[in-house]
Every structure is written in structure tokens, then in C-alpha cells.
């Protein structure tokens, strides 16, 4: 997934396997007192299916392969 203004990769050292799209921008606090509005959050989870099941989005969201930005 290429870098963009509304994308946050929480796993710089790993390849994300879940991309969580948000319905509206979320302000995220970053190191050094910075913040960023994001609509997509990429993360690498050991059990992505369980995470999505717990979110209750099993049918509408699936784990994906995303390349690091």
C-alpha cells in the first residue's frame, strides 16, 4: 500500500496483514508531539481472523496483504 496522507502503518518493521478502513478521519497522536488524521490503519496481527471476528466485521472486512509504506 503506497503512503498517503490518510494512511497509518503501525508496523514499519513487518508487512501489514490487516487494513482497517475508518468511516471518518481519526486524529492519531504520533511521537514528538505530532498528530495526523487517518482513514486507514495498517497493522500486522498474529490472528487477523479473530480480530475481525471480535470487531463484528467478518463479512464486510477481510485480512489483506499490504506492502509497507
For 27-59, what is each residue's pLDDT tens digit? 989 888 889 899 888 888 899 888 888 887 655
d(CA 69, CA 49) in angstroms, rounded, equals 23
Closest CA to 54 of 42, 64, 45: 45
- pLDDT, residue 61, reads 55
- pLDDT, residue 15, reads 81
d(CA 66, CA 10) in angstroms, rounded, equals 12
- pLDDT, residue 68, reads 43
**% the chain with pLDDT above 90:** 6
Residue 69 C-alpha from the chain's centroid:
12
- pLDDT surpassing 50 at residue 67: no
Average pLDDT score over the chain: 76
d(CA 63, CA 54) in angstroms, rounded, equals 13
Amino acid at each position: 500500500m503506497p503512503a498517503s496522507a490518510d494512511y497509518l502503518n503501525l508496523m514499519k518493521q513487518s508487512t501489514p496483514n490487516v487494513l482497517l478502513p475508518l468511516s471518518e478521519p481519526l486524529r492519531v497522536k504520533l511521537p514528538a508531539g505530532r498528530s495526523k488524521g487517518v482513514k486507514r490503519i495498517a497493522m500486522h496481527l498474529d490472528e487477523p481472523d479473530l480480530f475481525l471476528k471480535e470487531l463484528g466485521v467478518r463479512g464486510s472486512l477481510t485480512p489483506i496483504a499490504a506492502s509497507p509504506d
